Amino acid sequence: MNVAVIGSGTMGNGIAHVFAQHGFAVSLIDINQPALDKGLATIGKNLDRQVSKGSLGADDKTATLGRISTYTSLSEGVLNADLVVEAATENVELKLNIFREIDQYAPETAILATNTSSISITRIAAVTKRPTQVIGMHFMNPVPVMKLVEVIRGYATSDEVTAKVMDLSRKLGKTPTEVNDYPGFVANRILMPMINEAIITLHEGVAGVEEIDTVMKLGMAHPMGPLQLADFIGLDVCLAIMRVLHDGLGNPKYAPCPLLVNMVMAGRLGVKSGEGFYSWTHGTKELVLAERFQK
């Protein structure tokens, strides 16, 4: 089976890694070669980590990398694909344009999947001539480690395509969970309002960053606090998903916190920019409270 993955960033290279590790031929597609080289380098480092932990042999690493081909042309990259997984930036218009192009060049029998974390599968499918073959495959980050795949059915997604994607996810060693196409699906319908509420709690002065995260870690057994998690996800991504929920459901409870909006406008996006609720030392997991949140 041939799999094309569009986007070689954090999610795309992780998805390519997992498919290639499990024996699939992968075409990794991005807009330029430096982006692809960076994605391949990340895959190599993550494979090295698996080898060092003993969960993968050195020969398996070589074989995995050998199954990945790179393309800067989408039309060439999807030409022989049985499955296309789009993992581009969480931007509606960008995804719609990509799917129009995929639909034009991918084989008529190909399944078209999106890794979107919140955008309507039905809306994406509507710009193609094969809405029954369009589905959501929402992998979790980091993809090689996290077991869940949210499999999201659009309004027209067929039972056959859903069953194939569920089975395929299991072959990757994942646990697929079928959900329906509503804003935020399940993961972000629950997670993002929690993160937003944590930001509101900070904004209103109920408690500080460390205090909020400590309560959720020690009191609710979360592996990390919601504000630290927001920094990892990216505050811009959190804001985009909250806006999808707010626009799609029309309920004021999903309105993004003004502090979140202001931080994104100021370029304080979390780990990716070096500062969010915490200040980040790039290349490590060390963190300190961002200067503006220090007591």
Superfamily holding 2-180: NAD(P)-binding Rossmann-like Domain (3.40.50.720)
Model pLDDT, residue 283: 53
Q: Is 90 annotated as a binding residue?
A: yes
Phi then psi dihedrals of residue 194, to 5 deg: -65, -45
Q: Which residues are catalytic?
A: 117, 138, 150, 188
- CA-CA distance, 161 to 177, in Å (whole number)? 14
Pick the CATH number of 188-293 from 1.10.357.10, 1.10.1040.10, 3.50.50.60, 3.40.50.620: 1.10.1040.10
- CA-CA distance, 91 to 54, in Å (whole number)? 38
- CA-CA distance, 104 to 95, in Å (whole number)? 14
- CA-CA distance, 245 to 274, in Å (whole number)? 27
- How does pLDDT run along the chain (295 residues), one tens digit per residue? 999 999 999 999 999 999 999 999 999 999 999 999 999 999 999 999 999 999 999 999 999 999 999 999 999 999 999 999 999 988 999 999 999 999 999 999 999 999 999 999 999 999 999 999 999 999 999 999 999 999 999 999 999 999 999 999 999 999 999 999 999 999 999 999 999 999 999 999 999 999 999 999 999 999 999 999 999 999 999 999 999 999 999 999 999 999 999 999 999 999 999 999 999 875 555 677 777 787 6
- b/e per residue 152-172 (b: at least 16 CB within 10 A): bbbebbbeebbebbbebbeeb
User: 8 near 28, Cβ under 8 Å?
Assistant: yes
- b/e per residue 35-72 (b: at least 16 CB within 10 A): bbeebbebbeebbeebeeeeebeeeebeebeebbbbbe
Question: Which pair of structure tokens corresponds to residue 147?
Answer: 């077991």
Q: Is 175 annotated as a binding residue?
A: no
Q: Is 204 annotated as a binding residue?
A: no
Specify the domain boundaries for CATH 1.10.1040.10 within the chain: 188-293
Q: Is 12 annotated as a binding residue?
A: yes
- b/e per residue 17-26 (b: at least 16 CB within 10 A): bbbbbeebbb
pTM, 2 dp: 0.91
User: CA separation (Å) from 8 to 3, 51, 63, 73, 154?
Assistant: 14, 22, 19, 13, 25
User: 257 near 196, Cβ under 8 Å?
Assistant: yes
Model pLDDT, residue 293: 82
Specify the domain boundaries for CATH 3.40.50.720 within the chain: 2-180
Q: Is 9 annotated as a binding residue?
A: yes
Q: Is 265 annotated as a binding residue?
A: no
